[in-house]
Structure 1
Amino acid sequence: MSVQAIAFDLDDTLLRDDRSISPYTISVLRRAAGMGIHIVPASGRTSSSMRRLVDQIGCASCYVCCNGAEVRAPDHTIIMQELLPVDIARQVAAWAAKHDVYAQTYDEYRFYFNKYGKYAEDYKLSSSLEGEYVGDLEAFITQPTTKILLMDEPVRIAELLHEAQTIWEGSLSLTCSKPYFLEINPLRATKGNALKWIAQRHGFPMTDFIAFGDSLNDTSMLAAAGTGVAMANAREDVKARADVTCRSNEEDGVAHYIENNVL
């Protein structure tokens, strides 16, 4: 197996359930990097929410944020970016308001949300970002953004995803990294497209990429990579699209697969 790059999702893939990274996993990733393999964290998280984890890993050649809307260097500078234009972002915010659903957007360091409640509090805890209530999100958006995130109960999110697809399929990227998330990004902002951009930049084929993931926003990179690996804890429809499966995130599945098949 020729491997020049390894990409992996963070939540429920590399991270354990308590959102920590084991010393064993960090050691394996650093050994791979020492062999000249590109290490590429790839998450739906914003760059600010990824920084501490990327720094902890300590060997990333770059990292993918916001489901592929950004690629950043190890020093956190932007090297590729896709943005939602203001008019489109405001359309999405207005649609969320019409459905009375929680929605948020981002800048470099914080998130801005339209409704107080458990979703804002839970997101603050899981992302380590500060949030700010702005009320009318449509009016608040005056700059292009990488992503708008809606949150609700899984059944409602499935309904909203279906409706969003009828409105924006072919013009926006729509995905769900968790059952209670609906993530809306620029059309070309997928993890798979970000990995293709990275491979082209470094001059190696996509067949030399391994990618690990667990959820719907990972399927584009599992399909694009030469080897797509689904976690044991992945959704069944994600496993069906992967080439192989590995141990769960709680069992350091990414690290065990790399150690057994790459190192």
Structure 2
Amino acid sequence: MNTVYICDLDGTLLGDNAILSSFSKKILHELLHQGLQFTVASARSVVSMQVMLKGLNLRLPVIEFNGAFISDFDSGRHEIINSICPDVVESIYKLILEFGCVPFVSSFNGTEDCVYYKDVINDGMRWYLNECLTSKDRRWRAIEDLTHSFHDQVVCLTVIGHAQQLLELQGAIIQRHGTTVETHLIENQYSPGWYWLTIHDCKATKDQAIRTLLENYGLEANEIVVFGDQINDIKMFKIAARAIAVANADAELKRYATLVIGSNTEDSVVKYIHQDWSNRCALKSHFNIR
């Protein structure tokens, strides 16, 4: 049986500086050249992934925005778009304002990806905006009225604030739209103390995206091995033959892991894949399997 490896990025494949180490990049490059079936499933956008993973030949599509997009890595073209219903977007936007927050709106306008913003009301939002503008992320658009962005296919509303405020907002959203949306509340590891609440369509989950990817590429019979560190990885852990958490993973995620390896700062994911791939190649060679 062949294996498909699917990995989260931040806190898992990437180091604490959000960079793929030269060691991991070198090994992945070699294994991909040998035929390794590998891709990533992340809350990040494909634009960001292209910077982080530059130089890698990812033949399989990437899963971005936690499953809102399934996209070709090189071109950024979206093969699948799971957008939020416009009526739901408007309803959640009003709730966000009621809680004294302002979202960033991520969308696809039919031609290109966009991230719309208006008021930047706290340091957590300011950090995110500055990071993206510094890296010359071409998606960002300042806009006078955020509701004008709702004409696009909105795939994510991102609200940045303090934990308790966002926990209450998340509860209100779930109470009103629990069956139609997927929400995640996670602390930004690069800007401690600031939490991100992300709201997606209910179909935008890593597990559903993985199933779609495997079906579209005729890989349903393959063994699935996944790697992660946060609670937004739980659903993909549940469907994998092997679900592998890094040592720094959230305790809740570790409950669903079949194995816990070293931390994200030790190149643990790539070392595991390298060893697993080498073992399988040796086994095939021994039995002369073609």
Q: Same fold (TM over 0.5)?
A: yes
Amino acid at match of 2:160: M
Unaligned runs of 5+ in 2: 189-194, 279-290
1:173 aligns to what SS in structure 2?
A: strand
Amino acid at match of 1:44: A
* 1:115 lines up with 2:119 in the alignment: yes
Contact residue 211 and residue 227 of structure 1 kept, 8 A: yes
Q: CA shift at 1:91, angstroms?
A: 1.3
Amino acid at match of 1:115: D
Q: Identity percentage over the alignment?
A: 21
Aligned to 1:194: 209
What are the within-5 Å matches in structure 2 for residues 61-210 of structure 1? 61-74=60-73, 75-107=75-107, 108-116=112-120, 117-127=122-132, 128=135, 129=137, 131-134=140-143, 136-178=145-187, 180-205=195-220, 208-210=223-225
Q: CA shift at 1:177, angstroms?
A: 4.4
Q: CA shift at 1:31, angstroms?
A: 3.3
Aligned to 2:28: 29
Moved over 6 A (4+): none
Q: CA shift at 1:56, angstroms?
A: 3.6
* 1:248 lines up with 2:263 in the alignment: yes
Q: CA shift at 1:14, angstroms?
A: 0.9
Q: CA shift at 1:111, angstroms?
A: 1.9
Hey, what's the Cα distance between the residues in 2 that align with 1:132 and 1:8?
Answer: 30
| Total equivalences in the alignment | 262
RMSD over aligned Cα atoms = 2.1
What are the within-5 Å matches in structure 2 for residues 38-53 of structure 1? 38-53=37-52
User: C-alpha deviations, 1:109-166, integer Å up to 9, x for none?
Assistant: 4422243132332113444436444364335422221111111112322222222222
TM-score (norm 1): 0.90
Contact residue 63 and residue 69 of structure 2 kept, 8 A: yes
Contact residue 176 and residue 183 of structure 1 kept, 8 A: yes
1:141 aligns to what SS in structure 2?
A: helix
Hey, what's the Cα distance between the residues in 2 that align with 1:58 and 1:118?
Answer: 36
Contact residue 4 and residue 222 of structure 2 kept, 8 A: no
Query: Structure 1 pair 64/247, CA: closer, same or farther in 2 (3 Å)?
Result: same
Amino acid at match of 1:260: Q
Q: CA shift at 1:207, angstroms?
A: 5.9
User: C-alpha deviations, 1:57-110, integer Å up to 9, x for none?
Assistant: 333421111110111113221111111122211111111011111311124444
Aligned to 1:221: 236
Hey, what's the Cα distance between the residues in 2 that align with 1:206 and 1:118?
Answer: 47
Unaligned runs of 5+ in 1: none
Query: Structure 1 pair 54/63, CA: closer, same or farther in 2 (3 Å)?
Result: farther
Hey, what's the Cα distance between the residues in 1 that align with 2:221 and 2:262?
Answer: 24
Amino acid at match of 1:57: L
Q: CA shift at 1:244, angstroms?
A: 1.1
1:11 aligns to what SS in structure 2?
A: helix
Q: CA shift at 1:192, angstroms?
A: 0.8
Q: CA shift at 1:211, angstroms?
A: 0.9
Larger radius of gyration: 2
TM-score (norm 2): 0.82
Hey, what's the Cα distance between the residues in 1 that align with 2:219 and 2:155?
Answer: 27
Contact residue 91 and residue 138 of structure 1 kept, 8 A: no
Query: Structure 1 pair 18/125, CA: closer, same or farther in 2 (3 Å)?
Result: farther
Amino acid at match of 1:148: L
Contact residue 89 and residue 144 of structure 1 kept, 8 A: no
Q: CA shift at 1:5, angstroms?
A: 1.1
